């Protein structure tokens, strides 16, 4: 036997063993009801916002702030300080630099919680904030939150006009998450007359000397940005002198919209920011603390809190459907998971299919509801990405009721086809959500005002539709392929909106193109494979920093199991199963596997809002290597690679 064949046989044997251990580990994490559910973690801004929310919920008495949640607040303080960087600041992703908005939020929270002005941690943080441009450089949501307590001048914080509720379908031209944040916040903005801060409390020391508080505008006079800045000044005049009756009508509509979306959901949009603002809005609308709406809103919010041996932190939301879809798909591909385990996950996923109309139906009124959300309950917001991922899982397993499963999958396929945008791609929640000028409004600097189509979701949808029998010559498949061809970067990669970043986008685009029947000898696919090989780390793995979003190009980082798995999957989809890059990537996964069959991963590889908010999915490091190793063995024709 030649040395190269010996190496291949050794690699396949080791890969099979690694896969068996990984499958066993992942199966051990399955809940008895059939799902997988890992923690979803982010940065310190959630704990910082919690402390500010407690100031809202428990105002000072005679200028003294002594909330009943003092013990919990001190836990939040310790959690925040544990992540302070050597330069005194706070970052928004592991190993990233200090970020101004996270720093200002932390400073406000820590000082509110009782840290003295001259406390070393606070002093270093203050110095770092001023070096980063001061309070003036923070984003609009920081300024709005501070203005609620008179800690930032109201005239220099953006207005959130509740009258937008009266402008027809305008709110549905914002992304679903922006809509969910802005509507309860607009109620707060309209009704708040100034909440008290503790006597003498201020953050004026964070203002950079000589820097104006006014909104920055670097787009010139004849620009959408300047138009919206002028509109903001008009709105502030309207707030003082406009029709009170019209404002009351808008508030009632906003209240109705908000309360409707608390039904069949774990909070509005089931994500942290809207849930926080709903608590504030209900307070200003006059609901008593014991009212069922208030009790439910607070319970849903505090359900996001983890306070046990894992630490003290808030999750931005729950990722249970997403975690389950990925894990079940990977195990189904492995060919090594027991039928009963996959049947349990299938049966559970079928219970989570959406059968009610949500915001998406405003633009698709005649489409039968289906699809899956990301969380435990979020009926108004089926997620296109989740739906495609769940379909991939369901296509690899059979539940206890095949007839029900087949009907569900047909509905979900039809829903996905209906949710294709005009440009041929798919977005996260909406269709044709691309009014780019809205990104110039003053409160749009969370970098996610819109929900445009993106290569990563489009690739996954193509794969999901193909797995469910949609033919390669179907017009939706062909339009999706053309979208991916148009959106490929010059270097051969694809942008990843929902995962970090170009490695994520490229792997999903390539898998979608493979599923759609594209010839892997096409020049554009060969370019993508060459790009993946060119960015491989010396240790055989792949890693990419969140900094890629800031620079608009790939930025290398230490290798991670999830990104290595993505790169291997991308190369396999491009037709490469024999290169040294693929072999070294597989070896990296083998060598870094823990004794218990899982992997370690310290870096954030998930994306919430690019350049603003990142996520660490704690099962990515386990599920994606299972999928990569299984697909590698299948590509090599190894025994047991296909599911029986």
Distance CA 565, CA 586 (A): 8
Is the CB of residue 79 less than 8 Å from the CB of residue 312?
yes
Q: Rounded to 5 degrees, what are φ and ψ at 454?
A: -145, 155
Is the CB of residue 32 less than 8 Å from the CB of residue 341?
no
Q: How far is CA 619 from CA 36, 323, 595, in A?
A: 9, 7, 17
Distance CA 617, CA 36 (A): 12
Cα angle value 571/575/581 (rounded, 5°) = 40
For residue 580, the Cα-to-chain-centroid distance in whole angstroms is: 33
- Dump the DSSP string for 329-361: HHHHHHT-S-HHHHHHHHHHHHTT---S--GGG
Q: Could you give the 3-state DSSP secondary structure of residue 136?
A: helix
- Dump the DSSP string for 123-189: HHHHHHHHHTT-GGGS-HHHHHHHHTTTSS-GGGSPP--GGGGGSTTGGGGS-HHHHHHHHHHHHHH
Which residues are bridge partners to 606 per DSSP? Answer: 499, 615
Burial of 47 by CB count in 10 Å (0-12 exposed, 13-18 middle, 19+ buried)? Answer: buried
Distance CA 464, CA 390 (A): 8
Distance CA 341, CA 33 (A): 10
Q: How many residues does the chain have?
A: 644
Tokens of 329: 């798909």
For residue 345, the Cα-to-chain-centroid distance in whole angstroms is: 23
Tokens of 134: 């001061």
Tokens of 436: 């780019």
Ordered strands of the 613-617 beta sheet: 40-41, 613-617, 606-609
Residues annotated as catalytic are: 385
Tokens of 64: 């003294």
């Amino acid at each position: 036997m030649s040395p190269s064949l010996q190496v291949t046989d050794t690699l396949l044997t080791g890969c099979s063993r690694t896969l068996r251990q990984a499958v066993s580990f992942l199966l051990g994490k399955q809940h008895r009801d059939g799902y997988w559910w890992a923690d979803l973690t982010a940065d310190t801004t959630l704990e910082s916002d919690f402390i500010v929310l407690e100031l809202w919920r428990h105002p000072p008495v005679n200028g003294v702030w002594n909330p009943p949640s003092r013990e919990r607040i001190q836990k939040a303080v310790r959690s925040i300080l544990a992540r302070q960087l050597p330069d005194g600041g706070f970052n928004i992703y592991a190993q990233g630099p200090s970020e101004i908005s996270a720093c200002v939020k932390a400073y406000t929270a820590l000082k509110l919680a009782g840290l003295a002005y001259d406390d070393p941690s606070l002093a270093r943080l203050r110095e770092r904030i001023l070096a980063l441009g001061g309070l003036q450089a923070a984003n609009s949501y920081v300024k709005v939150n501070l203005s609620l307590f008179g800690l930032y001048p109201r005239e220099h914080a953006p207005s959130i006009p509740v009258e937008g509720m009266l402008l027809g379908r305008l709110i549905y031209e914002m992304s679903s998450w922006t809509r969910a944040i802005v509507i309860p916040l607009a109620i707060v903005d309209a009704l708040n007359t100034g909440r008290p801060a503790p006597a003498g409390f201020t953050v004026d020391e964070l203002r950079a000397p000589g820097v104006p508080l006014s909104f920055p505008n670097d787009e010139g006079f004849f620009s959408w940005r300047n138009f919206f800045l002028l509109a903001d000044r008009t709105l502030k005049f309207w707030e003082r002198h406009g029709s009170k009756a019209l404002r009351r009508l808008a508030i009632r509509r906003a209240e109705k919209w908000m309360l409707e979306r608390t039904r069949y959901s774990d909070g509005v949009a089931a994500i942290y920011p809207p849930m926080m603002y709903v608590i504030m809005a209900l307070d200003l609308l006059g609901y008593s603390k014991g009212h069922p709406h208030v009790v439910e809103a607070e319970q849903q919010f505090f359900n996001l809190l983890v306070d046990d041996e894992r630490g003290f932190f808030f999750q931005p939301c729950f990722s249970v459907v997403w975690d389950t879809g990925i894990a079940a798909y990977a195990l189904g591909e492995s060919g090594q998971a027991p039928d009963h385990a996959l049947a349990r996950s299938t049966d559970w996923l079928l219970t989570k299919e959406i059968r009610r109309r949500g915001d998406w139906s405003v633009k698709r009124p005649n489409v039968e509801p289906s699809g899956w959300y990301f969380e435990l309950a979020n009926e108004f917001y089926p997620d296109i990405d989740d739906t495609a991922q769940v379909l991939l899982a369901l296509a690899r397993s059979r539940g206890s009721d095949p007839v029900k499963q087949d009907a569900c999958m047909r509905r979900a396929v039809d829903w996905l086809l209906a949710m294709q945008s005009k440009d041929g791609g798919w977005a996260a929640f909406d269709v044709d959500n691309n009014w780019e000028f809205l990104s110039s409004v003053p409160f749009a600097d969370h970098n996610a005002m819109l929900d445009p189509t993106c290569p990563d979701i489009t690739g996954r949808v193509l794969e999901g539709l193909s797995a469910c029998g949609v033919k390669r010559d179907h017009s939706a498949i062909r339009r999706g392929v053309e979208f991916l061809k148009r959106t490929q970067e010059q270097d051969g990669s694809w942008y990843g909106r929902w995962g970090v970043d170009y490695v994520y986008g490229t792997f999903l685009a390539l898998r979608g193109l493979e599923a759609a029947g594209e010839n892997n000898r096409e020049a554009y696919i060969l370019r993508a494979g060459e790009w993946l090989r060119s960015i491989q780390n010396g240790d055989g793995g792949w890693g990419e920093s969140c900094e890629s979003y800031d620079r608009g190009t790939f930025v290398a980082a230490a290798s991670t199991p999830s990104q290595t798995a993505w790169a291997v999957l991308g190369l396999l989809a491009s037709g490469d199963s024999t290169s040294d890059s693929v072999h070294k990537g597989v070896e990296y996964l083998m060598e870094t596997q823990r004794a218990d069959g899982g992997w370690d991963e310290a870096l954030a590889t998930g994306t919430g809002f690019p350049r603003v908010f990142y996520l660490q999915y704690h099962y990515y490091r386990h599920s994606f290597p299972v999928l990569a190793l299984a697909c590698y063995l299948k590509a090599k024709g190894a025994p047991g690679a296909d599911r029986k």
